[in-house]
Structures are given as structure tokens and as C-alpha cells.
Amino acid sequence: MGIPLFCLEILFGQFASRGPINIWEINLLFKGLGITLVILSAVVSIYYNIVVATAIYFMFASMQDPLPWETCGNEWNTCNCRTFDMNTTLPDPLMWYNKSGLDCILQITSFCCTMFISCMPSNTSCSNSVLEITDGIQTPGMVKWDITLCNLLAWIVICLALISGVKSMGKAGYFTALMPYVLLTILVVRGVTLKGASKGLDFYLNPDVSKLRDSKVWKQAAAQIFFSLSCCTGSLTAMSSYNKFNNNFISDSIVIPIINCMSSFFAGFAIFSVLGFMSYNTGISVDNVTTTGPGLTFVAYPEALAQMPVPQLWSVLFFFMVACLGMGTQFPSVETVLTGIQDEYPTLIKGRKRLVFRIGTCVLGFLLGIPQTTQGGFYLLEWCDIFIGWPLLLVGFFQVLAIVWIYGVKRFSEDVYLMIGQNSIAGIIFRSYFLWAITGAIPLLLLVILAYDIYDYTPITGPAYPEWSEALGWIFVFFIMVWVPAWYVGKLFLIYRHRKTSDSFWTILKKANQPTAKWGPRDPKNRTIPRYQLPRDEAELELRPDNSYDA
């Protein structure tokens, strides 16, 4: 599903050379979908930058000796903090107690102690020192100024990288794209040479195939591909709008997703070799030292690195790599917002206004992220992550509906062949695989996943998320998606109200779903088929003021 959807979005942007809002000259009734895409990118940029900021914080914290999460002697450690060189008092290695023994059980004011389960130093460091986490989303607490400053630093880097548009972003992108591979290779080489690494690699390379019968596994796998390729956020459309018109997007659609998957597979060797080393040192099975999400990045893996010789070096390298990867994701995500608005309001593209607009957008992004840098901000970040998936699925379906089915498969195919040629190898591959996948398989799969998500949905519960947070989550989803039907109905109503003929409503609806005269390749020299011919004066207005489509 990922490759065809990836292909659809990059060919769409490449063909029209427009941002995610302005590109809907293909069907003005769906312009609200472009607004939704920009809002999605903005939301993802704001909350994902907190993850980057946390990685930056850990990178600086890794320069201390000893590491803050290496020992239990810090003021933030709870009574049941336990390092792996302490003696256990129970045969089950998962039921550890602090050396203080009975004293720990008596100090029931600590949450961890009331659970009678020990905590790793990295766990208490992350919860009590880095986040100083509260008891739930209803208790935001105080602003964590260390995380806030790291968030500010991340936004400054983003602003500097995007200040000149895609050209400066491209230069920064070389570093954020290539450096993680260098660091990852170093971590893999070091990881596989550790004692016990084979235990982790065996766990990684020999999965439990019986779990393939669990539909949730397929759902999670689809979601991972969906997010890792940046589908349905507008980023692919915005970035590909700067491609040359005849760029071979078919090869891009095959090579990039494959590299993405192989990179994830390669990264697994760095992760599981170190977790195998941790398992070897502690006597705990690998499946009990692994975790998912932020817990793997900021708790389990740092704990394993702390047991290695020269832990500061490996921790700095690891978190610098995470920060680089995060920045590499942030650059196109923020640029999507900037490109979308600038294409809609061309006066923001040139001169001083361009500079003020780009800096102002980054400042606004930083300010909107402050609530997530509070002591309860982790819950808000997790809350966003839970509900953001629904708009992504809906956006994917509406994109296929508008770009392929309403626009027409025939016209859609003609546009593709105008870029890559009908009888070229790329054209044959498109016709043989991508066309049927985009027109049939993708919308069907999106509907199946969406239906299953609705059927299998479990409301967020627990003391950290009151009932009102569930309701607020759906209001959040509604705010993102409401632009699609609201714009469609509102625009159609205006067209019907100001009609100059006695055409029926259905006739007007059909005409309203047609592309405008401006739709087509942005550069007049590429408008070579009759339905894309424009008067000379109108065609000249189609070029981006900075001719950046050819960048």
C-alpha cells in the first residue's frame, strides 16, 4: 500500500508544481483537503519537534560522567531504583527491589513503591528528572525550561535550514540524511561485537510467525509504512512540486520506499544487538527488556548503552543520530506548511516578506509547542499521536477519490504519460502495476483499515486520561477534517447560488467537479496537449515568482 500511495502523491505534486493548497485547481471543491493537509503537517511538526527536543536534551545529558541514568544515587531516583549490579531478593528477575529492602516497601508514598516493582535508573531518570511527569493530562504542571530550550534550539535549526526555501533545505538535508547512516553503521559494528549480541539478533531475525494470524499485527505494520513514508501529510506533494517536470517518479517511488525499509531493517541490528547485550548482563530474556515507542528510545536503549565501556560516547552518538533523523523529518514537514501558504499568497514568496513569514512561522511553531514541554506535556504528545492517525487515513482515501476517480482515470493516465511517456519503461511499469494499484487496491485497503480501526477501537482510559480527553480528541479530529466537507458544500452552494443558467443541481455538481483552466503543468512549455493550452497572458501568470519549480 505504501509504494502506490507514495507514487500518487509525488506525481501529483510534480505534475502541477504547486503546494498542497494551490494544487487543487484540479477540483476547487476539494480545496478544503489542501487546508487539512497543511493543518496536519503543522500539528505533526509541532508535536514531533518535542521528540527531537528530548533527543537533544539526552544528547547533552550524555556528556556527563557518570550518566544521569547510570546509577541510583540521584535525587530523582525512587526507593526501588535498581542497577543491574545489585543483588536481587527474589528469584524472578522482573520483581526487583532496591537494596533498602523492607524500607522500600514501607515508603508507600512513591508510586513505584506502591506497585512493588523496581525501576531501572533510566526509567526514573526519564520520568522524574527529564519529564518530571505528572499524574495525567489533566495536570499540566510547570514548564520544563530545559526541554523548552532544547525545543527552541530545534526550531532555530529548522528556521536556518528553511530560511531560503528548498535550496537551503536541500543542503541541510544532505547532512541529516547521510550522517545518521554513518552513526548507525558505527553503532551496528559496536553492537554486534558485544557479548550476548547474538541473543538479541536471534530474537530479531527469528520472529514468532504465529503472530501473523493476529490482525492487529497487520494493522500496526500498515501504520508503520504509512507514517515512515510521510504519506497523506502533504509533504510528498509539496516536496515533489520542486521536481523537474520529466523526473522519473516511478523509479523514485520504488527506490525510496525500499531504501526506507532496508534502513529500518539495518537499524534493527543496532537496537537488538545492544538489547541482547543487556539481556546477557541481566539474565532477563530479550522480550522482557524490549519495549515500544519512546520507551525504547529514551529508557531501554540508554539503559543498555550505560552498561557499555565509555557509555558517554555511545550515548552521544545515539542521541545525535536520533536528533538528525528527527530534523530530517521536520524539514519537509515544516516546508509543507510554508510552501502551501506561500503558493496561495504569492506576495509572501519574495523579499523581506518571505523572511518575516518563514521566521514568524517557526516562532509560532515554538510557542504552540510550549504546552507539550510542561511536566504533563508527555501525555499531550501521546494524546496527539493517538488521534492523528484517523485524519491520515481519511485524507488518503479522499486524495484517491479526488485525484483519480472524480478527475477521471483516463485524464489521470494522460497526465502521467505527459511526464514520463506512454511507451517508456516507466510508462509501462506505471500501466502494469501502479495504475491498477492506485485506482483499485489503495482505496479498498484504506477503507478496510479504517473500518477495522472503527470496529477495534478502544477509548483511551485510565487515571492519566479522563473522559473529557477522549471527547477532546474527537474534537481535534473534527477540526482537522471539517475543512473537507465544509469547503466542498460551501463552494458548491456559492456556485449554485450564482449560476447563470437553468441547469439542474446535478449538472452544476458535475461541472463544479471539473478542473479549472489553470490546472495542468505550471510551466507553459509543458502544456503540450490541447486541454492545457492557455492564453499567453494567463500562462505567464502561472509561473512561480522565483521559478523554483526547476530547482
pLDDT tens for residues 99-157? Answer: 333 333 333 333 333 333 344 544 444 444 555 777 888 888 899 999 999 999 999 99
Instruction: Give a yes or no: residue 15 inside a domain.
Output: yes
Residue 21 lies in a domain: yes
Query: Which residue, 10, 12, 16, is CA-closest to 532?
Result: 16
Residue scoring higher pLDDT (510 or 91)? 510
Mean pLDDT of 443-460: 85
Domain coverage including residue 235: 2-66+143-486
Residue 72 maps to a domain: no
Q: 98-112, 163-177, 255-269, 462-476: which range is least confident on average?
A: 98-112
Taking the whole predicted model, whether its pTM rises above 0.75 is answered as yes
- Within a domain: 527: no
User: Among the listed ranges 105-119, 250-264, 392-406, 529-543, which one has the minimum average pLDDT value?
Assistant: 105-119
Is 473 within a domain? yes
CA gap 405, 401 in Å, rounded: 5
pLDDT (0 to 100) of residue 101 = 34
What are the φ and ψ backbone dihedral angles of 259, each rounded to 5 degrees?
-60, -40
User: Is 43 part of any domain?
Assistant: yes
Range 225-229 average pLDDT: 80
- Tally of structural domains, the chain: 1
Selection from 286, 366, 270, 356 nearest residue 318 by Cα: 270
Mean pLDDT of the chain: 82
Residue 260 annotated as lining a ligand binding site: yes
**Per-residue pLDDT, 118:** 42
In 3D, which of 302, 400, 330 has the Cα closest to residue 169? 330
Beta-carbon contacts of residue 127 (< 8 Å; ≥ 6 apart) = 133
Share of the chain above pLDDT 90, in %: 43
At 411 the pLDDT is 94
Name the CA dihedral angle for 194, 197, 198, 203, rounded to a multiple of 10 degrees: 180
- Per-residue pLDDT of 231-273, as tens digits, reads 888 899 999 999 999 999 999 999 999 999 999 899 999 888 8
Q: Residue 279 pLDDT > 90, yes or no?
A: no
Residue 18 lies in a domain: yes
Mean per-residue pLDDT, 57-74: 79
- Let me know: does 47 contact 346? Beta carbons within 8 Å: no
Residue 452: band (very low, low, confident or very high) from pLDDT cuts 50, 70, 90: confident
- In the block, cell 514568524 appears at 360
For the domain that residue 224 is a member of, what is the CATH number?
Answer: 1.20.1740
* Under 8 Å between Cβ of 110 and 78: yes
Any domain includes 377: yes
The reply, when asked if residue 325 is annotated as ligand binding, is yes
Check whether 72 has a pLDDT greater than 80: no
Instruction: Assign 3-state DSSP to the chain and report helix, strand, coil percentages, each to 5.
Output: 70, 0, 30
Contacts of range 30-33, beta carbons closer than 8 Å, 24 or more positions apart: 30/398, 30/402, 30/484, 30/487, 30/488, 31/487, 31/491, 32/483, 32/484, 32/485, 32/486, 32/487, 32/488, 33/395, 33/398, 33/399, 33/402, 33/483, 33/484, 33/487
378 has pLDDT over 50: yes
